[in-house]
Chains A and B, each alone.
Chain A
Amino acid sequence: MRSAIAIAGPLAAALLMPAAGSAQDGSSAPAAPRSAAAAPSYPPYVRPVSSFVPPRTPDGQPDISGLYLAIPLPRGIETPLVPLPNRAPNRANSEFSFSLNERPKLPDGAIARPVGVDPPDGRIPLTPEALARRKDIISKQEKIEYLDGRVLCLATGVPRSTIPAPVVGYQIFQKPGAVVIFYEQNHLYRTIPLDGRAPLDPNIRKAMGVSRGHWEGNVLVVEVTNFTTNFSNNWVIGAISATPGVPAESLTTGHGIPHSDQYRVTERYTPIDANTIHYEAKIEDPQVFTQPWTIAYYAFARAPKSYVPVEYACFEGNDKNLLLMTNTDISGVRVNVPEE
């Protein structure tokens, strides 16, 4: 039943349950070519150069508009070069709420490789302080103040909203001077102005950041800044729950990685063919990372005609879920009763 997607709570709860995480090992792996998965190392990441020329919108932009689904990540956020216990070699790191018989595939000739591409060892270059902070956050997951912001139904930010879990539909709109992305997950959206306008005042913060885009040939390049930093729940990345038994410093799925007000993301959306968009995100935050780092993967596959985006009402029905997971009843603060 499609309408079940509107209920975020049970989905989110399932994502945090260790059993749900381990259930995704092995059998749920996509059928994408993964001969490289068994190998101890991968060829260096080479940014894809596509000869595909998309059609043009009436105002001359490369036309990438339409409905898309996330392509399952071939690996976790971290690199398999970092040894992890209890890790099946072909573990798919995404789950789909839209049950397709046929999941989106990598384009022909694409090499399945870890999404962490720079630094080459795939490690997330956290400062010692940030690593300690991350451990602290992960160790307090039973407390609502440290719980995954996505489970709280906070906006997931960038690039996290492009990491395929738990809801995976996207709608890209284009109009003169802007690209607009609707994310099915938590009905998030971004407007990406292309008109070269100035950055926003640093006092203005947005959960999805403030985007400024331009086309470099057929590649949409977006600078994202001005992110909200008000909670310990706004994480840079993160797919499903952390793999059970894996310590925080293993950087498994990206959970618990904070950012500061200097956080900055540079995205590149590269149309590979009529159905596929490759995604790259360079992540910078001198308060948190010792150097910039980059993730890259084939992110968007044009949705089949049978796909219809549906409403993912997240916060509306989340009270019971949060009570179950953190023993916190938010209903009392949810309503603003004016005080005398």
Chain B
Amino acid sequence: MKIRITTVGAATGVALLISAMAAAVAHAQRGTTPPRAPAAQAPAAYNGPRTPDRKPDLNGIWQALGTAHWNLEAHSASEGIPAGFSVVEGGAIPYQPWALAKRNENLQKRLTDDPLRKCYMPGVPRATYLPFPFEITQMPNHIGIAYEFAHATRTIFLDGTAHLEDLDFWMGDARGKWDGDTLVVDTVSLGDKTWFDAAGNFHSDALKVVERFSPIDATHIAYEATIDDAKVFTRPWKISMILYRRLEKNLELLDYECAEHVYDKLFKKSGKP
């Protein structure tokens, strides 16, 4: 397969580049730690900065490293795709037999069927570990997360309100609370059209995701997401990874306007402006 950095394919090219760099950085940052998948950290006391309401201060731009966006499970390298450890607790996703067959079919068709390639919003938790940064804006009652990919957003309500009924949102309906220094986000109404990665790992509209953002220090968050979908899996399962604060001076989110690249290609095809 040739890697072409053109129009929508730019996602692929950029992703490759970023993930390769990210893997290198991740390795360097872990230093002498054995190169394992980032497991959930032991809940050591958080001594990082806090907001005026005494919550850990998560404001800023963050990014996951590693290869979860290619494949949550352990995989060897293929052309343009770095090898990666499983971020799934226990290694394999506990699919029901029919669902495993479906996943394997998805894997074969991933180049055309991955919803991300159609510029659909990435859903949850996939948005978290795309090779694009995201920005957290933290207020006592609302946390906003802005994602660089396709300007997806989430508002996490911490005001004690319940999930709404009858919704079908790409990014879900998120309600959060603080459990000590851990932000716990309960997301439902995610629909059935998103994947967890580019390897065809999927879910149904029964998906419920509970994320735990446990800050380790000022620049690292231990991130866990528990996936519950009784239509597809034999039991709930969990992924975990580290989120890294982007420390570059004056960093700001830029655009990956996925739709623009589709129109770029369309207009080029028709020879119009």
Q: Which residues of A contact B (CB under 8 A)?
A: 1-3, 6, 58, 65, 143-145, 152-155, 171, 173-176, 178, 180, 182, 186-189, 191, 193, 197-198, 200, 204-208, 210, 228, 230-233, 308-311, 313, 315-316, 328, 330, 333-340
A210 — which chain B residues lie within 8 A by C-beta? Answer: 252
Whether the Cβ atoms of A333 and B266 lie closer than 8 Å is: yes
Known: A155-B257, A336-B117. 9 other contacts (CB 8 A): A3-B168, A145-B270, A171-B155, A175-B139, A206-B255, A311-B167, A315-B120, A334-B118, A338-B12
Q: Does B235 contact A (CB under 8 A)?
A: no
Whether the Cβ atoms of B166 and A2 lie closer than 8 Å is: yes
Whether the Cβ atoms of A154 and B112 lie closer than 8 Å is: no
Chain B interface residue count, Cβ-Cβ cutoff 8 angstroms: 59
Whether the Cβ atoms of A310 and B258 lie closer than 8 Å is: no
A176 — which chain B residues lie within 8 A by C-beta? Answer: 59
Whether the Cβ atoms of A207 and B273 lie closer than 8 Å is: no
A-B contact list, 25 entries, CB within 8 Å: A1-B166, A3-B168, A65-B139, A143-B272, A144-B266, A145-B270, A145-B272, A153-B259, A175-B137, A175-B138, A188-B151, A189-B144, A191-B252, A191-B253, A204-B254, A207-B255, A208-B255, A228-B255, A310-B167, A313-B169, A316-B121, A334-B262, A335-B8, A338-B3, A340-B1
Expressed in whole angstroms, the Cα–Cα distance for A191 and B272 within the complex equals 33
Whether the Cβ atoms of A336 and B166 lie closer than 8 Å is: no
Q: Chain A residue with minimal CB distance to B80? A: A338
B3 — which chain A residues lie within 8 A by C-beta? Answer: 338
Expressed in whole angstroms, the Cα–Cα distance for A210 and B260 within the complex equals 17
What 10 A-B pairs come out closest when comparing CB atoms?
A336-B8, A58-B52, A145-B272, A311-B169, A173-B137, A315-B259, A180-B137, A189-B146, A333-B265, A336-B9
Q: Scoring B residues 244 to 268 as 1 if CB is less than 8 Å from chain A, else 0, what string do you get?
A: 0000001011110111101111110
Expressed in whole angstroms, the Cα–Cα distance for A231 and B170 within the complex equals 27
Whether the Cβ atoms of A178 and B263 lie closer than 8 Å is: no
Whether the Cβ atoms of B153 and A187 lie closer than 8 Å is: yes
A311 — which chain B residues lie within 8 A by C-beta? Answer: 167, 169-171
Whether the Cβ atoms of A173 and B144 lie closer than 8 Å is: yes
Whether the Cβ atoms of A152 and B171 lie closer than 8 Å is: no
State how many angstroms separate the Cβ of A275 from the closest Cβ of chain B: 18
Q: Which of B137, B152, B169 has the most CB of A within 10 A?
A: B137
Expressed in whole angstroms, the Cα–Cα distance for A315 and B257 within the complex equals 11
Q: Which of B138, B169, B263, B267 contacts A310 (CB 8 A)?
A: B169
Given the known interface contacts A207-B255, A315-B259, A333-B266, the answer about A338 and B167 at a Cβ–Cβ threshold of 8 Å is no
State how many angstroms separate the Cβ of A299 from the closest Cβ of chain B: 20
A193 — which chain B residues lie within 8 A by C-beta? Answer: 252
Q: Which of B146, B167, B269 contacts A333 (CB 8 A)?
A: B269
Q: Chain A residue with minimal CB distance to B144? A: A173
B121 — which chain A residues lie within 8 A by C-beta? Answer: 187, 313, 316
Whether the Cβ atoms of B142 and A171 lie closer than 8 Å is: yes
State how many angstroms separate the Cβ of B217 from the closest Cβ of chain A: 19
Q: Which of B2, B9, B51, B146 has the most CB of A within 10 A?
A: B146
B193 — which chain A residues lie within 8 A by C-beta? Answer: 316
Q: Does B188 contact A (CB under 8 A)?
A: no
State how many angstroms separate the Cβ of A282 from the closest Cβ of chain B: 23
State how many angstroms separate the Cβ of A53 from the closest Cβ of chain B: 20
Q: Which residues of B contact A (CB under 8 A)?
A: 1-4, 7-9, 11-12, 51-52, 59, 111-112, 117-121, 135, 137-139, 142, 144, 146, 150-153, 155, 161, 164, 166-171, 193, 250, 252-255, 257-260, 262-267, 269-270, 272-273
Whether the Cβ atoms of A336 and B260 lie closer than 8 Å is: no
A191 — which chain B residues lie within 8 A by C-beta? Answer: 135, 137, 146, 252-253
Whether the Cβ atoms of B170 and A336 lie closer than 8 Å is: no
A198 — which chain B residues lie within 8 A by C-beta? Answer: 250
Q: Chain B residue with minimal CB distance to A140? A: B272
A309 — which chain B residues lie within 8 A by C-beta? Answer: 155
Whether the Cβ atoms of B112 and A335 lie closer than 8 Å is: yes
Expressed in whole angstroms, the Cα–Cα distance for A194 and B166 within the complex equals 39
B119 — which chain A residues lie within 8 A by C-beta? Answer: 315-316, 334
State how many angstroms separate the Cβ of A233 from the closest Cβ of chain B: 8
Q: Chain A residue with minimal CB distance to B255? A: A206
Expressed in whole angstroms, the Cα–Cα distance for A121 and B142 within the complex equals 43
Whether the Cβ atoms of B117 and A335 lie closer than 8 Å is: yes
State how many angstroms separate the Cβ of A135 from the closest Cβ of chain B: 15
Expressed in whole angstroms, the Cα–Cα distance for A137 and B263 within the complex equals 17
Expressed in whole angstroms, the Cα–Cα distance for A6 and B171 within the complex equals 11
B9 — which chain A residues lie within 8 A by C-beta? Answer: 336, 338
A205 — which chain B residues lie within 8 A by C-beta? Answer: 255
Whether the Cβ atoms of A145 and B267 lie closer than 8 Å is: yes
Whether the Cβ atoms of A316 and B273 lie closer than 8 Å is: no
A231 — which chain B residues lie within 8 A by C-beta? Answer: 260, 263, 267, 273
Expressed in whole angstroms, the Cα–Cα distance for A65 and B8 within the complex equals 36
B1 — which chain A residues lie within 8 A by C-beta? Answer: 338, 340
State how many angstroms separate the Cβ of B155 from the closest Cβ of chain A: 6
State how many angstroms separate the Cβ of A151 from the closest Cβ of chain B: 12
Given the known interface contacts A191-B146, A338-B111, the answer about A3 and B167 at a Cβ–Cβ threshold of 8 Å is yes
Expressed in whole angstroms, the Cα–Cα distance for A174 and B142 within the complex equals 11
Whether the Cβ atoms of A189 and B153 lie closer than 8 Å is: yes
Whether the Cβ atoms of B170 and A174 lie closer than 8 Å is: no
Q: Chain A residue with minimal CB distance to B257? A: A207
Expressed in whole angstroms, the Cα–Cα distance for A189 and B259 within the complex equals 16
State how many angstroms separate the Cβ of B27 from the closest Cβ of chain A: 28
Q: Which of B111, B146, B273 contacts A232 (CB 8 A)?
A: B273
Whether the Cβ atoms of B270 and A189 lie closer than 8 Å is: no
Expressed in whole angstroms, the Cα–Cα distance for A100 and B118 within the complex equals 34
